[in-house]
Every structure is written in C-alpha cells, then in structure tokens.
C-alpha cells in the first residue's frame, strides 16, 4: 500500500515514469527511425554536397561546401526528429490512444507529463542530431573538440521544438491541420536556417528574421563547434535556452487546457 505523503510539483519519479513509457515504446520502433536518420544525411550530402559542389559551389566562407551542408544538416535532423514527433506523437497519444487519460489518472500532473515528453524528445533528438556530423566526418570533416558540445546544442534546441510540437498538438482541432503548421513554420524555419546557403546573401529583412530562427542559431553553434566558436555563440545558446523555456510554458498551458475539463 502506498504510504500517505505530500506530493511536490515536478517530481522526478513522475517524469521518469512517463519517460520510461516512451523508452519502452521506442524499443519497438528504433530500428526504422535510426535507419532513416542515418540514411537521410547521407542522401542529402551526396545530392547537395557532391552534386552542387561539383557544378555550382565550391566553398562557403572558406569551408568546403560538403562540410558546410553537413554541419548545417544537424539542424535539419533536430527539427525533424523533434517538432514532428512531438506534434504527431502527442496528438495520437491524446486523441487516438487515450494514453494521457491513463497517465493523468496516476499521480502525474500535466506539467510533469509535458516535461517528460519534451525531455524524452530532447534526448532522442540530441542523439540523432549528431548523426549528420558523424556522417560529415566520414565525408572528410576534421573532428574538433568543440564538437563535443553539439549533443548539448541539439538537446536544448530539440527541447524547444518538442515544446512547440506539443503546444501545436494541443491547439489544432484535427490532425490534418498539421499541414498548416508544417507549411507555415517547420518548412520555412528549416529552409532559412543557413543549412544549404549562408543567410548573409539574403535581403536584410530576411537576415534579421533569420536571427529569430532557433534553427539558424543551432546551425551557427554547430559550425562554431566544428570551425571555432565566437563570443556571440554564448548569446546564441542563451537564445535557444530561452526558446525551450518559452515553448515549455506554452506547451504546459495548452495541454492543461486540452486535458483537464
């Protein structure tokens, strides 16, 4: 019998319990996810890196184009392994599988549930985000000590996009409304992140807007890790942490509205 005791906010045991559920499910589908996460950057690097550098671009700011794209691909891997799983996963668990009803009947609050979902995606995406970097190293990029920070950069960015995805899942009425979210947010953020071309060639207004794109900040941090950090990178990291904090609170708020009558 469980003993009488007061329960605190954000209990590690509740968060760990929810994450253990994600981990148990992940064991059933990790092979497919990992396969595509490894294959995708290889295909991109072959198509863009080799294809473009053979014909149009040789290097960007003194960096061989294939290494430029490869380091930028980290951000692509992060957004697609965080925002999309958070959106679809949350929606499916809430609406189709009624998973959250079961979890919230246990001593778990919405805040703990959302935090656990975000942390799990953060860890997963932080890991998968490193794959393009490893692939690029295989394509000739020199390893650098700064790269050891890349998992942390990916983790924090993924937390932010996980929060974004959870908040969106709690906001849309139907699953096909994710098309709007993808077209309005995910694709533009992914394209104007400086992954495939440097943003300093873009019009001034777009350049300023790109500074607000967390994915762009991640791209810059990863390149900092590979080719040398600058002082401004601290600000970039702070921006990503702020983004994660903001989407966390929004996600908790939206999920509370959705899950508690």
Partner 1 sequence: MAAIELRGVVKRFGPITAVDGLDLEVPEGICLGLLGPNGAGKSTTMRLLTAQAIADAGTLRVLGHELPADSKAARAQMGVVPQLDNLDVDVTVEENLAIFARLYRVPDVGAAVDAALDLSRLRGRRHAAVDQLSGGMRRRLLLARGLVHEPRLVLLDEPTVGLDPQIRTELWTLIGELKARGTTILMSTHYIEEAERLADEVAVMHRGRIISRGHPVELITEHAGRQTAEVYGPPDRLAEVRAEAESRGLPVRPAGPAIAIVGSERGGDSTIPEDAVLRAASLEDVFVLLTGEEAE
- Alpha-carbon distance 218 to 236, whole Å? 8
Nearer to partner 1, 21 or 249 (CB): 21
- CA distances, 137 to each of 42, 147, 225 (Å): 11, 11, 13
Q: Which of 34, 47, 107, 230 binds partner 1 (CB under 8 A)?
A: 107
Judged by CB under 8 A, the chain residues 174 through 233 that form the site for partner 1 are: none
Nearer to partner 1, 173 or 231 (CB): 173
Nearer to partner 1, 176 or 261 (CB): 261
C-beta of 2: minimal distance to partner 1 in Å? 5
254 part of the interface to partner 1, by CB under 8 A: no
Binding segment (CB under 8 A) for partner 1, from list 37-45, 106-114, 123-131, 137-145: 106-114
C-beta of 170: minimal distance to partner 1 in Å? 15
C-beta of 28: minimal distance to partner 1 in Å? 5
- Alpha-carbon distance 33 to 27, whole Å? 11
- Cβ neighbours of residue 220 under 8 Å, at least 6 residues apart? 194, 233, 236
Q: Which of 98, 177, 179, 187 binds partner 1 (CB under 8 A)?
A: 98
Binding segment (CB under 8 A) for partner 1, from list 92-100, 161-169, 195-203, 234-242: 92-100
C-beta of 22: minimal distance to partner 1 in Å? 10
Nearest to 226 by CA among 165, 125, 147: 147
Judged by CB under 8 A, the chain residues 2 through 41 that form the site for partner 1 are: 2, 4-7, 13-14, 16-18, 20-21, 24-25, 27-29
Place of tokens 């970039």: 236
Question: How many residues are recorded in the chain?
Answer: 261
**Start-end of H helices in the chain:** 12-44, 51-55, 65-91, 99-105, 110-128, 131-138, 150-171, 178-181, 187-191, 204-211, 214-227, 232-259
C-beta of 27: minimal distance to partner 1 in Å? 8
Q: Which of 46, 54, 92, 102 binds partner 1 (CB under 8 A)?
A: 102
Q: Within 10 A of 201 (CB to CB), how many other CB atoms are there?
A: 10
Nearer to partner 1, 98 or 179 (CB): 98
- Alpha-carbon distance 100 to 108, whole Å? 10
- Cβ neighbours of residue 102 under 8 Å, at least 6 residues apart? none
Kindly state the number of chain residues that form the binding site for partner 1, as judged by CB under 8 A: 33
- Interaction site with partner 1 (CB under 8 A): 1-2, 4-7, 13-14, 16-18, 20-21, 24-25, 27-29, 97-99, 101-109, 259-261
């Amino acid at each position: 019998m469980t003993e009488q005791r007061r329960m605190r906010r954000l209990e590690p045991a509740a968060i760990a319990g929810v994450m253990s559920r994600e981990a148990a499910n992940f064991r059933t589908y990790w092979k497919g996810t990992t396969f595509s996460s490894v294959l995708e950057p290889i295909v991109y690097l072959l198509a863009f890196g080799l294809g473009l550098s053979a014909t149009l671009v040789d290097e960007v700011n003194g960096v061989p184009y294939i290494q430029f794209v490869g380091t930028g691909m980290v951000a692509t891997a992060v957004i697609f392994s965080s925002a999309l799983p958070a959106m679809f996963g949350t929606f499916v668990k809430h609406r189709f599988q009624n998973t959250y009803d079961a979890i919230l009947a246990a001593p778990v609050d919405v805040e703990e549930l959302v935090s656990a979902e975000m942390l799990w995606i953060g860890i997963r995406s932080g890991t998968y985000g490193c794959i393009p970097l490893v692939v690029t190293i295989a394509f000739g990029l020199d390893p650098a000590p700064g790269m050891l920070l890349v998992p942390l950069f990916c983790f924090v960015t993924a937390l932010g996009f996980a929060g974004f995805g959870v908040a969106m899942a709690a906001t849309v009425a139907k699953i096909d409304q994710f098309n709007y979210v993808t077209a309005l947010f995910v694709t533009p953020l992914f394209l104007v992140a400086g992954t495939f071309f440097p943003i300093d060639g873009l019009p001034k207004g777009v350049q300023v807007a790109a500074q607000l794109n967390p994915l762009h900040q991640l791209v810059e941090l990863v390149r900092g890790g590979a080719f040398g950090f600058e002082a401004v990178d601290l600000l970039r990291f702070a921006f990503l942490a702020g983004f994660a904090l903001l989407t966390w609170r929004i996600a908790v708020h939206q999920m509370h509205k959705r899950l508690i009558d």
